[in-house]
Structure 1
């Protein structure tokens, strides 16, 4: 199984650290949160991370100073800065100090996740890793072309509505790995949603009626209790 992306959070607000940790873990990231730069240095020395989320407004060492110091020490991990100030000059200062992106508070958690994924996509493009992403997946008699968003059964096109296709592509993009409901909701809605919103579950039921021989005993689109949903299959050329 592919390892989760590791994210390190530095923020001196306990409530925000806890909220970000819960939300990012629900979106399939491995997360460690710290409250000061000394703890940050400790974790960076222990293992590599894929991204640092860094708050600007901190004491005694503020986020700009931390960012400059890390870059001077040769740290190349992507840095996403958070700040309560929306002044464009702050954004310039953050980027000039070595940050890769900037997000002003308050922000939607979905926007944070979108920006994180955009940073990882840019990295993949720079490293020429895009070809490693699955282009087509096969499950039973079905073949899904992710780029064209086309589903075929035994080479015959299958019609799905937009929401069903979006859900299937999201699951196929992480084939054989559980995807949380929050993750699927964030991809589908791109905005705030209620914990009681069951639209993803409804779409899963509809999709199962299309791809499963027996929707009550799914073979391909499985429920992983405590984790979410998972599409099983194989990547094909």
Structure 2
């Protein structure tokens, strides 16, 4: 099994650490940074939800408590939105129900307090190993997805109609892949920015709208009245057609 290395990578892994206890948070962040991880400390889950689509982390270490919003509620909200960002919950040692509920809500792992930093690091490695896929890539990378008169070839990153093939650029591809993977689920513009750009990129939400204009010109019979990629006012976009997977 391929190991997850934190040293020598061109793009070090970026973690959000959400913990209200200042001393514990500082100690944990210092340890993870010494392990060559990029760490963004946060006071509570509400702050994390405000920032998760602007600066996309590879994994979130999330305390289940919280004065404004609990970590459990934040985990439930992300999963309800279709967000698959990896999450490790930190729960009180005596609160078994929190650990069970957290896993049922879609957390990738749950660790009881008090915990050793080396154990948490091992859990981080394990979760990253299980979830290390390119953002925006559909789970079935061999799929052919019909969109109207076009066929979206996931592996080839292209759209084809008859003998004509159009290879998508990275932004168009990752956005279309994210939308088709989450068919019927409205995705925010912030999330589409996060999956289609590097963490270092400074991108405005208009970049999403511009890419959607290009995709609609390719896919829609009438781009001014979109059928396949529809706008969700005040939120983002949703992919709505019935998807037919064509046998490879």
Q: Report the TM-score range of the alignment, normalised by the length of the smaller protein.
A: 0.5 to 0.7
Aligned to 1:119: 130
Residue 170 and residue 162 in structure 1: after superposition, are their counterparts in 2 closer, same or farther (change >3 A)?
same
Distance 1:151 1:137 in 2: 9
Higher helix share: 1
Distance 2:90 2:239 in 1: 37
Aligned to 2:156: 148
What is the TM-score with the length of structure 1 in the denominator? 0.57
2:239 is the alignment partner of 1:231: yes
Match of 1:29 among 83, 96, 100: 83
Deviations 1:112-155 (A, max 9, x none): xxx76x63358xxxxxxx98667111111011011111211245
Structure 1 unmatched ranges of 5 or more: 1-8, 65-89, 103-114, 123-129
Distance 1:147 1:190 in 2: 21
Structure 2 unmatched ranges of 5 or more: 1-16, 22-41, 54-77
2:232 is the alignment partner of 1:208: no
1:71-220 to 2 correspondences below 5 Å: 92-95=118-121, 99-101=123-125, 119-120=130-131, 135-191=143-199, 196-220=204-228
Q: After TM superposition, where is structure 1 displaced by more than 4 Å over at least 4 residues in a row? A: 30-36, 130-134, 192-196
CA RMSD of aligned residues (A): 4.0
Q: Which moved more, 1:144-153 or 1:173-182?
A: 173-182
Deviations 1:48-78 (A, max 9, x none): 2432476x9xxxx4332xxxxxxxxxxxxxx
| 8 A contact 1:28–1:180 mirrored in 2 | no
